Chain A
Amino acid sequence: MIKVENLQKRVPMAGSELEILKGIDLQIKPGESIAIIGASGSGKSTLLGLLAGLDEASGGRVIVEGTDLSELDEDQRALFRADHVGFVFQSFQLLPALTALENVMLPLELKGQVDARQQAEYYLGRVELGVRLDHYPRQMSGGEQQRVAIARAFAAKPAILFADEPTGNLDTGTGGHIIDLLFELNQQEGTTLVLVTHEKRLADRCQRRVYLDAGELVTGAAS
């Protein structure tokens, strides 16, 4: 359950302030999948960053799983992320010095999970990369790297998964596979899915879409 109340974000810019988010109100139910859509610069990524506790709001509140993120400092938010949140990024954000297996193990190790290796192997198997455990990101295609990222996100069993343009760096065919994989796992794991995208195909797969325009939520329609 995510509850957003009058969320604002302003950044100082050349003497004045730039208002990126102008008071957003939004509720996301457990297990729901929701797409945040909007033009470049509309504030989508900023909203995602705030929902995931990666950034601090200038005003308003974000309550995730009963925790008010605005009351946490960065370290407490980090612990919160470790327990509740998973990510899939446009640029994959795999650590280049780690193998596929090590990348997936990383968040599990951060949580101190003892069966990190088994879990990581299991989820890499689920994304059909069971035979490429020891490959480094640079030895993989974009689609394969994103599958590793998806395995990493689900392996930690997050309550909420945030995805930032997960198909943005992929061709149509590969993007399609990634979308299928994402929703399939989402369904099986019962995760809440919040994604930011331009892509209609991806947005259409979500139960709900919200439109951001110049920092304001324009419509919120159920699919």
Chain B
Amino acid sequence: MSMTATKMLARDWRGGELGVLVAALVLAVGLVSGISAFTARLQTALEQESHRFLAADQVIRSGGEIPRAWGEVAAEQGLDQAQTLTFPSMVYAGEDTMYLASVKAVSDSYPLRGELTYATGAYGEVLVAPRGPGTGKVWLDSRLFALLNVEVGDPVSIGEMQFTVAAAARTEPDQGASFFGFGPRVLMHMDDIPATGTVQPGSRVEYRYLFRGKPAQLTAFEKYLKPRLEPGQTLIDIEDGQPGIGSALNRAEQFLLLAGSLGVVLAAVAIALAARRFSQRHYDYVAIMKSLGATSGAINRLYGRSLLLLGAIATLGGCVTGWAMQELFFELFADQLPVQPGSSGSRPYVTGGVTALTCLLCFAWPPLYRLGQASPLRVLRRDMPLETRQSLADYALGLIAVSLLMWWYSQDWKLTLAVMAGLAVTVILGLGLALTLLRGGRLLGMSAGSIWRLALAGIQRRGTANALQVVIFAMAIMLLLVLLLVRTSLIDEWQTQLPEGTPNHFIINIAADQVAPIEAMLDANGITSEALYPMIRGRVMSINGEDLPRMEDTDSERYQRGSNFTWSDLQPPGNTLLSGQWWPPGTTQPLVSVEASFAERFELEVDDKVEFLVGATPLSAQVSSIRELEWQSLKPNFFLIFPPAVLANYPATFMTSFHLEAENKAFLNRFVHRYPTVTVIEIDAVMGQIRSIVSQVSAAIELVLGVILAAGALVLIAGVQASVDERMAESAILRTLGARRNLILGGLWIEFSAIGLFAGLLATLAAELSFYILQTYVLEMVYSPTPWVWPLGVFSGMLLIGCLGVFSCRKVVSSPPLAVLREL
């Protein structure tokens, strides 16, 4: 056959037959590739961000020096390296001024990721440093200038070596690594360490070996390291970087995957519908070609080639659309992103192509294949029924294909299962319910006026077709509702996690006699702080009489470990008891309330007896309750809480947290000048970053939701169109018989909105089910019923389908009936 597929497609395009099919394909590919590329790029960006918090891609943390060979292996594998060494040490300025500081020695190449900043004076302008201090120089924490009474250029000494103060140390990318550090920072050069004589075997030091390289190099190095690590040596990589942002972003990623998967399902349904209509409209075409001598093989080849060509064009179009979609997003939000978006690579587009191929093979090909079997006799007998009945095998093929696509795309079988369960409920309940309801509608209609009788008779006559349509509409509406529900609950959760006024500064190391004046100073400046909590450093030694091993002697998490204690008569807000009971106020019994994850790590239960060591004094207490708390609340939180009387005789410092607006930052300088021994931890910058990431991810989610809505609309249009021909023909005949415009439009309106109503009901039911499964098992959030979705689902279903239906059939009243009949 010399008639080419290109020609046929071009002709069909001119004839307007391909619109929905092409749009559905482009959308499927665009959604999949766009969302994949978007997620991939965001992920790379966020990984970089986490790397920044590590100042490297990979870090070995160790209490002692690591074998020299490891560094050589890293160098062989092409990794860049840097070292840091952190230890507490006295810093002297002259004979009698000294202060306990947290000294950090860094090598020349530090940091490997992120920026080190300094200032030329104690509170001068903050500048980016290409590297840390040179040999013989130190940078001091701004507070130390006042505490040690020194200026830039003055000498200070650490151990046996004298240094020159060269600058103020401001921020380090991996500052958070020692959150509750032991004092103000002093930065020095790694090479000066031997000369100070401060680091001896057995000193309390932390070595960090930093590495930077390509993912493959890092993986190879990790493989080399893992079996060689000894207790006390830990390999830290990006996943451990930022647990706070992590969970929010994981969910966002899951949402995007879910959205993408739903988009694929929607697009697949649209493709199936469009292909079915396409094939129905081509029956006559094929019959004529066959009467003129085309064999079924030739027809199949022709349509197969057309489909492949269509697939190729749509894949290309879809990839461009997907690329443009995510590019537009990053373009719009470029200056708000904390980091440059990474590159997505080609995988998203391969995914898009595979999606197109699968959709075409499993959804578009079956109806087109049956075209080959069309009877040529149709040229003589137009009234011959179309052999368009979908076989069970078609549905099974479609279902399997959709599940596999979703699973392949999301790599998450729970997510796939949640959506498939919702879809299954829609289909099974749908067909049953729809048939019953439609039959009920008929009985009601018998006694109604003519417009209703007409509409309900229409619904009844096309019973099976309508039931199928209800199911398809319900599927589309369900998927959209699920997405809407998940999105709303995610964004709500993020907003409640970091509401306005969340504490963004911590002050620790407050001496007992400073509590009252500090409270007064905060009050006087209009700053509301959390209560001041006492803080005592202690160590868990034994549980129920069994001594815990020392850290270096065990691989488990259960070892003698230092922790912060506090006391309280009342259960602190934000703490929920999981088991046991809170003690009565004023109790003198030796009790302790334990945080849930801590209890889990130490395998603690209520009534267990625990021995602690506070300083050099032993303390024993009985577990009275296990608590859960909101770590994300950024309020002072403690693993272990005792009754006040129990800790009364131990030396305590106090801590609190408060919210400070950016414009009031100057307060901090006054505060630090007045209380130089108190440590202020500023987390406003980090929180600002979390906020901006969350708002960008929310924006991304809204964008994706919008695109999926478009996919949903496409399904609805394809679904309505599928039945338009028949309805048009009927309406045209009615018009010929003299029915007025309003009667016909009214009938169509009632028929379509009834279908929409049933679809909306079903969709809402199935959406609640899917949402429940997703919340509980996939996103691990708390499910609560969402009554608002019911009216939304039902009424939007009614309105949407009603309007779309009438709109699609409007031609029947706007053009002469004969023209309508002729065109069909």
Contact = CB atoms under 8 A, between A and B. Distances in A.
Nearest to A83: B293
Nearest to A108: B2
Given A93-B288, A106-B292, A109-B2, A78 B376 contact: yes
B736 to A, nearest CB: 17
B584 interface: no
A91 interface: yes
Given A97-B11, A102-B11, A75 B296 contact: yes
Given A45-B380, A54-B376, A75-B297, A87 B291 contact: yes
A41 B12 CA distance: 36
A110 B294 CA distance: 6
A81 interface: yes
Interface string B375-412: 11101111000000000000000000000000000000
Contact of A54 (B294, B295, B380): B380
Given A78-B290, A110-B292, A97 B15 contact: yes
A98 B380 contact: no
Contact of A98 (B11, B290, B382): B11
Contacts of A156: 292
Contacts of B332: none
B339 interface: no
Contacts of A166: none
Contact of B380 (A81, A83, A164): A164
B291 A112 contact: no
Contacts of B710: none
Contacts of A85: 293
Contacts of B1: 109-110, 112
B151 interface: no
Interface string A53-93: 01100000000000000000011001111110101010101
A127 interface: no
Contacts of B288: 93, 95
Contacts of B379: 54, 87, 89, 93
Contact of B289 (A54, A75, A83, A110): A110
A89 to B, nearest CB: 6
Nearest to B376: A54
A110 B707 CA distance: 43
B289 A45 contact: no
A92 to B, nearest CB: 10
Contacts of A55: 375, 377
A125 interface: no
Nearest to A96: B15
B380 A89 contact: yes
A153 B2 CA distance: 19
A185 B3 CA distance: 27
A87 B294 CA distance: 14
B14 interface: yes
Contacts of A87: 291-292, 379
A38 interface: no
Contact of B14 (A48, A93, A97, A112): A97
B285 interface: yes
Contacts of B290: 74, 78, 81
Contacts of B298: 78, 110
Interface in B289-335: 289-298
A111 interface: yes
Interface string B266-300: 00000000000000000011001111111111100
A152 B298 CA distance: 20
Contacts of A49: 377, 380-381
A81 B292 CA distance: 6
B376 A110 contact: no
Contact of B293 (A89, A96, A111): A111
20 contacts: A45-B380, A45-B381, A49-B380, A49-B381, A54-B380, A74-B290, A74-B295, A74-B296, A78-B293, A78-B294, A78-B298, A81-B290, A87-B291, A89-B380, A93-B379, A97-B12, A107-B292, A110-B292, A112-B1, A156-B292
Interface of B: 1-3, 11-12, 14-15, 17, 284-285, 288-298, 375-377, 379-382
Interface of A: 45, 48-49, 52, 54-55, 74-75, 78-83, 85, 87, 89, 91, 93, 95-98, 102, 106-107, 109-112, 116, 152, 156, 164
Given A80-B293, A106-B3, 5 more contacts: A54-B380, A78-B295, A85-B293, A87-B291, A95-B288
Q: Top 6 closest A-B pairs, CB basis? A: A82-B293, A97-B15, A75-B295, A107-B292, A109-B3, A97-B11
